[in-house]
Amino acid sequence: MTNNPATVPVMREQHPPNRFGIAPEVSSWTLGWKGLLLQRFCLESVSLAAQPCPSLLVHVHRKNPIVMEVREGGRYLRQPLAKDDICITPAGTLSAVTIRQPSAVLAMAFNAFGPDTAAQWIDDRVRAKHVEMIPQRGVRDRSLLELSLLLEEEAASGGQNGKIYAEGLSTAFMARLTNVYATHSFSPVQYKGGLIKYALRQVSEYVEANLSRDVSLEQLARIARMSPYHFSRLFRQSTGCSPHQYVINRRMERARELLIGSSRSLADISREVGYESQSHFTAVFRRTIGLTPKVFRAHG
């Protein structure tokens, strides 16, 4: 493989080893995203020897049109890729890949994908007997693309919106993958009517007690005893907003109470409602309330 000589070598304490052998421009490695590693690379050319794919991989081509040469199962394929084309490679796939033109790729590795977990993306009450991801090259899928770019933006920001936001996006991404590009042999159970009151109360109480922490979607779904995918859908039916937006709303309400009822500094209040950065807290407060915290406090 050849790449840009100016590219900084991989720093293993900051990034995991990857097949490209260079440090990614953007990575979610340090953000604690469960089951998903997102990385963005810019490459002068690519030549990857055949080796089994360790996990389900999704690549989004982010540059000018290229041709990907693939050797797989004794066959040779030339696959044209346009900007925003998507490739899906199931775990265990053995293929050699060559790209001779400069390229930029957004790579997402779903390490937790397996028959049991795949079933849970569709329905958490069953287990699939035969779940298999179908290899895809050059897919045009607006839903997957939009979710990919939102995940990339979140990783580039250092995960400023928290785990619950990234997990919500990756849950929607995996649900789309499983429903459209996988084979499965069961019919999902349909949920209606929102969360039962007892589960909603438990989730709400947990959020209130942990506004200063980086609450995850998986934790909330576990309290409700269902998959993250179905929890997100039923929670929105019950509250009118996503779990991520609900947490933001509760944090902003707590911040309003502290701004009016205490003389604590903005930095202290920021941390109390789950924001390490005061500037990020200020931006979210202004977007939600319509005023900066300082102005809100001054006018009561």
pLDDT digits (tens, 9 = 90+) for 187-217: 555 666 789 999 999 999 999 999 999 999 9
* Residue in this structure with the two tokens 């060559």, named with its chain if needed: 98
* Predicted confidence band of residue 6 (pLDDT cuts 50, 70, 90): very low
Q: Is the pLDDT of residue 184 over 70?
A: no
pTM for this model (two decimals): 0.85
Q: How far apart are CA 194 and CA 54, in angstroms?
A: 37
> Which of these ranges, 4-13, 188-197, 215-224, 279-288, has the smallest mean pLDDT?
4-13
Percent of the chain with pLDDT over 90: 63
Q: Is the pLDDT of residue 113 over 70?
A: no
Q: Is the pLDDT of residue 40 over 80?
A: yes
Number of Cβ within 10 Å of residue 7's Cβ equals 16
Give the H or E element holding residue 267.
Answer: helix 266-272
Q: Which domains does the chain have, with CATH numbers?
A: 26-183 (2.60.120.280), 195-300 (1.10.10.60)
Residue 21 buriedness (CB in 10 A; 0-12 / 13-18 / 19+): middle
> Which of these ranges, 15-19, 90-94, 131-135, has the smallest mean pLDDT?
15-19
* Predicted confidence band of residue 7 (pLDDT cuts 50, 70, 90): very low
Strands 94-99 and 66-72: antiparallel
Specify the 3-state DSSP secondary structure of 57. strand
Beta-carbon contacts of residue 246 (< 8 Å; ≥ 6 apart): 207, 235, 239
* Predicted confidence band of residue 126 (pLDDT cuts 50, 70, 90): very low
* Predicted confidence band of residue 8 (pLDDT cuts 50, 70, 90): very low
* Across 125-144, average pLDDT: 78
* Residue in this structure with the two tokens 């066959």, named with its chain if needed: 75
Would you give the DSSP letter of residue 22? Answer: B
* Across 245-272, average pLDDT: 96
Nearest to 58 by CA among 165, 182, 160, 159: 182
79 beta partners: 68
Which is more confident, 10 or 269?
269
The pair of structure tokens assigned to 169 is 């996006």
Could you report the per-residue pLDDT of 212-239, keeping only the tens digit for each?
999 999 999 999 998 888 899 899 999 9
* Predicted confidence band of residue 120 (pLDDT cuts 50, 70, 90): low
Nearest to 249 by CA among 230, 235, 268: 235
**What pLDDT is attached to residue 182?**
82
Beta-carbon contacts of residue 124 (< 8 Å; ≥ 6 apart): 226, 227, 229, 230
